[in-house]
Chain A
Amino acid sequence: MKPATRYMLSTAGLVGFLLIWEAIAQSGLIETHLLPPPSTLPGTLISEIELGFWQSMVWASLRHYTIGFVLGSLFGVVLGVSVALFPRVEASQAWLARVFRPIPPLAWIPFAIIWFGISETAAAFIISIGIFWINYFTAMAAVQAVDKDLIEVARAFGHRSFFALLRKVIMPGAAPGILSGLRAGLGQGWMTVVAAELFGIAGIGQRMIEASGLLASEVVVLYMFSIALLYGVSDYVFVAIQKRILAWQR
């Protein structure tokens, strides 16, 4: 398929979806608070901005998200890499990881509140958990998959110390895997943002719950699309950076 054709079909799919949705919502078959027509969204956005909600909620969520992403990614990558490098660390985490891995991030909400109160820290903590596990396992696998022959080459050319090998072979070799883990975490983070804000921490999630209580479903839809937009932008920026770092790949 030509790129132009593909682009046109993708656009047509999205526009078609919006048109059908609009038609059903306008037909009167379904009450508008059950299914608000998309044409109400621009007006809703303007009023939310005028009331000052949109920018402050998006900004708050972005803060929780960023802190959770940075912490979860950092700990996930550092620990995942260490586990792959040191057999003793690997052995000591084997059962621990099996116990904690299946616990969903949202199950930590009670402890997040007990430990951090209804605070931004609590939201960031919950967001970081899902991101942590993704990065932990992808970083581990990425390091384990580094070509042993290249380590041998580096050693043959005089790079014998642990740190030299880490810097010259292991980290660059694991970079593609680690970056794809970071990217998966980028998406996972947005999925937990809303839930992490449901219990009263200011942000997109809180505003959505508030609006649904008032049956202002067009506001709920507006914030759903806002999340989609934020994810789209962050993923786009990330992929652009990733491409630069991995220019050496085919």
Chain B
Amino acid sequence: MAAVIHTENLAVAFGEGDKRDVIFQNLNLSIEQGEFVTLIGVSGCGKSTLLRVILDLQEPTEGSVKTDAPKDKSKRSIAMVFQAANLMPWRTIAENIVLGLEGLEVAEDVREERVKSTLKLVGLEEMGERWPYQLSGGQRQRIGIARGLAVEPDILLMDEPFGALDAITRTGLQDELLRIWEETKKSILFVTHDLEEACYLADRVVLLGGKPANIVNEYKIEIPRSERRDGVEFLKVTEEVKAGLSEAIATTMAERDKEKQGSL
């Protein structure tokens, strides 16, 4: 299978001179067509920054990101779902969903069709004419997903999209996301700080750590998703990932201390 994203020796640093802070370095991450990858790691190791670089919202200091060009001018190759749904409050739900279509070559009827189909996909068919404030937090986040899917991207980047939601809503949306993923066959790169969530959703969990950060481990999860919520096998896998994360936290903290002392 072909990779839809490939980052090549990617590095991001902020600041200059003595204050230069290298977030990550020599980062090589590939995501296969249709693959669901979750990204976890010590906080501050640049998970969100990586998504911003992939989306070209942030220039990398070194290296590059390779993605396929969109298949035609009515699509974008990458779309993002944000932590807070961040809908434009002055746009109706339907108008929010077409945000990414404005500027693309999409006929009016295709536009309406995309709104209809993505709303259906997230289970909110009747909400098109409402204002964002009239929706619950979970519903707004689903519209955030619909807005991403409306541009028919190959890759959906998701930055802790369920982080701000209550546990019940979160569990519901996780299952819904899996259903959508199976229906649409998108490749997904999903950042989360919730280890259970990372293991439940993913084909592959990528663990970032160290200072500067890099990929310290990857876990392929081959257990069928129907056996994941409470299966014994799955528990073993999450324990393994948890152990990996703890170790990464310890080494990252040590390396950060060393860097601090070195710069003093």
Contact = CB atoms under 8 A, between A and B. Distances in A.
Interface string A149-181: 110111111110000100011001101000000
B55 interface: yes
A172 B151 contact: no
A173 B57 contact: no
A169 B88 contact: yes
B91 interface: yes
Nearest to A247: B131
Q: In the complex, which range does the number of interface residues on chain B fall in?
A: 20 to 34
Contact of B102 (A156, A159, A169, A247): A159
Interface in A8-24: none
A249 interface: yes
Contact of A248 (B55, B103, B133): B133
B90 A175 contact: yes
A156 B88 contact: no
Given A157-B100, A157-B151, A248 B91 contact: yes
A250 interface: yes
Given A158-B76, A172-B88, 11 more contacts: A147-B86, A149-B82, A150-B88, A152-B57, A152-B82, A155-B57, A156-B57, A157-B99, A158-B100, A169-B88, A248-B90
B127 interface: no
B79 interface: yes
Contacts of A156: 55, 57, 79-80, 82
Contacts of B82: 149, 152-153, 156
A247 B91 CA distance: 10
B104 interface: yes
Contacts of A159: 99, 102-103
A187 B209 CA distance: 59
Interface in A170-212: 172-173, 175
B104 A158 contact: yes
17 contacts: A149-B84, A150-B88, A152-B57, A153-B86, A153-B88, A153-B99, A155-B57, A156-B82, A157-B100, A157-B151, A158-B76, A175-B90, A247-B131, A248-B89, A248-B131, A248-B132, A249-B89
A129 B145 CA distance: 48
Contacts of A157: 76, 79-80, 99-100, 147, 151
Contacts of A175: 90
Interface of A: 147, 149-150, 152-159, 164, 168-169, 172-173, 175, 247-250
Question: Which 10 A-B pairs rank lowest in CB-CB distance, beginning with the nearest?
Answer: A157-B100, A172-B90, A248-B90, A156-B80, A153-B86, A248-B131, A250-B133, A157-B99, A149-B86, A158-B103
A21 to B, nearest CB: 45
Contacts of A164: 103
Interface in B128-169: 131-133, 147, 151
Nearest to B81: A156
B118 to A, nearest CB: 14
A231 to B, nearest CB: 29
A134 B57 CA distance: 36
Interface in B74-100: 76, 79-80, 82, 84, 86, 88-92, 99-100
B249 to A, nearest CB: 28
Contacts of B131: 247-248
A155 B86 CA distance: 13
